[in-house]
Structure 1
């Protein structure tokens, strides 16, 4: 499968990092691709404009040193995690981040850059086939969640959220959430590398969430043109929650991957009122591909 050659994996911290590394290596094996692991260290000097008035120069210097020390600790912990993990993956070739990876076998690299994570990661994501992010664990790891959203809104590429637990093998059962929007169409295109080699593919739709656009049956025809057979299931909301119904339908199918459009409504509206994207990000236990 030549559609996937480079996968970006930003690791803001060690939280859920091992599961993300395991999933990334599975993807590298599946596609014969390169997994580029990236950690962005924050710069302690960036805190100076945020320190506010009323602080002495010495106090600002102390804050900057403290922030730099914390950043160094995070970078060290992530690097240790990476080194320990790749030592258990002898079939994945470790290469320098600045060299051309091998084209005929899976490989991995590790790179630390310094700067603003919400700028550096999306920029690197634009030249990756997709970005894999650790599960953000809503309310626990603010940085990981912001990384996910920065890539989603500012890279033009799909985002794949790894599950909290390391996967047992390759993805075999693929669900595609469909509501007729441009966002769901982008997710459909992003899911083709997995759908083309899956054991089974299912289109999930809910009349309560359908928007103006192609119907689910049109998606089946589109996939058939790509040589992919899929069936359709209409699922009901659970407790008036479409997101709950969608995840329940994935669970019933035994899905390894859910592909869906993200934020058909605005992110602010979903943060205030809730929404399908927000529920899936917070509650999903399977691998999720999202596109905008």
Structure 2
């Protein structure tokens, strides 16, 4: 059964978009899938309720007009970046953003919708096989983070976070971070599409990372039921940092992708105290498939 047919790529800015475009195109080629590029343009009128007291009607209108101009400029920049990439990628057909998409060959589309990004993106992500998100330092970091968190918490689908630098080769080595949680199990299910075509797969585990649940040996057995051969490797924290140890183990393996559960602890606790999810998001140099 084909596991990937539609890939959603939401863009809020053009910074780091090139790396996401290249990775998305490689995914589209690998699975003969459709890459749906989406830009959510905010409505300038939404700024009116946020305007402070003491502003005249004319001042509010001026703020709305300024927001509309900025939104239009950003939309044009993103659309032009897509058009430039499409022109350089003739092997992937550029089509209108509506179903049915071409079957049996890679394609891509560009669409602009009005609304709140944290509402529109997860809505479309729910009917995509996964959502590709540019690295979190792209453009407005807060906006990018909100898009990722909206996908993780509100879509029911996995997210793939692109690295900062373009990755031009196909994924050959996949690491799976395992700690026995439901989040890790969801990420495991999401990575099967890549693991099934990878040259090597490794399950990474650590006593300090493990929670109550199945262990790494059972994950290897589960993968074998999907005709995926994997080994397992214990890693150690580096300077008491599990996330750093995890990424170090990926580097030692020469991994092209890491799958892991996101926010096994609450998001607030991760933001205040740090955590594995936060460390990986801030330091990833390879695609990370995350699920919650």
- Residue in structure 1 matched with residue 151 of structure 2 by the alignment: 151
Q: 1:194-233 counterparts in 2 under 5 A?
A: 194-233=194-233
Find the aligned partners of 1:89 and 1:139 in 2 and give their Cα distance: 24
SS of 2:88's partner is coil
Question: Which moves more between the two structures, 165-174 or 133-142?
Answer: 133-142
| Shift in Å, 1:140 | 5.4
- Residue in structure 2 matched with residue 118 of structure 1 by the alignment: 118
- Residue in structure 2 matched with residue 23 of structure 1 by the alignment: 23
Q: 1:240-279 counterparts in 2 under 5 A?
A: 240-279=240-279
Find the aligned partners of 2:52 and 2:278 in 1 and give their Cα distance: 33
Give deviations 1:127-149, integer Å, cap 9, x for gaps: 00000010011895221111111
SS of 1:96's partner is coil
Give deviations 1:238-291, integer Å, cap 9, x for gaps: 111100000000011110000000000000000000000001001101000000
- Residue in structure 2 matched with residue 193 of structure 1 by the alignment: 193
Q: 1:92-171 counterparts in 2 under 5 A?
A: 92-137=92-137, 141-171=141-171
- Contact 1:237/1:245 (8 A) holds in 2: yes
CA RMSD in angstroms, aligned pairs only: 1.1
The gaps in structure 1 that reach 5 residues or longer are none
The gaps in structure 2 that reach 5 residues or longer are none
Q: 1:63-74 counterparts in 2 under 5 A?
A: 63-74=63-74
SS of 2:208's partner is helix
TM-score if structure 1 supplies the norm length?
A: 0.98
TM-score if structure 2 supplies the norm length?
A: 0.98
- Contact 2:22/2:168 (8 A) holds in 1: no
SS of 2:153's partner is helix
- Contact 1:16/1:164 (8 A) holds in 2: yes
Find the aligned partners of 2:140 and 2:287 in 1 and give their Cα distance: 19
Find the aligned partners of 1:56 and 1:136 in 2 and give their Cα distance: 37
- Contact 2:5/2:129 (8 A) holds in 1: yes
Find the aligned partners of 1:52 and 1:206 in 2 and give their Cα distance: 51
- Contact 2:15/2:139 (8 A) holds in 1: no
Relative to structure 1, is the Cα distance of residues 139 and 204 closer, same or farther in structure 2, using a 3 angstrom cutoff?
farther
SS of 1:204's partner is strand
- Contact 1:138/1:145 (8 A) holds in 2: no
Find the aligned partners of 1:288 and 1:249 in 2 and give their Cα distance: 14
Q: 1:4-15 counterparts in 2 under 5 A?
A: 4-15=4-15
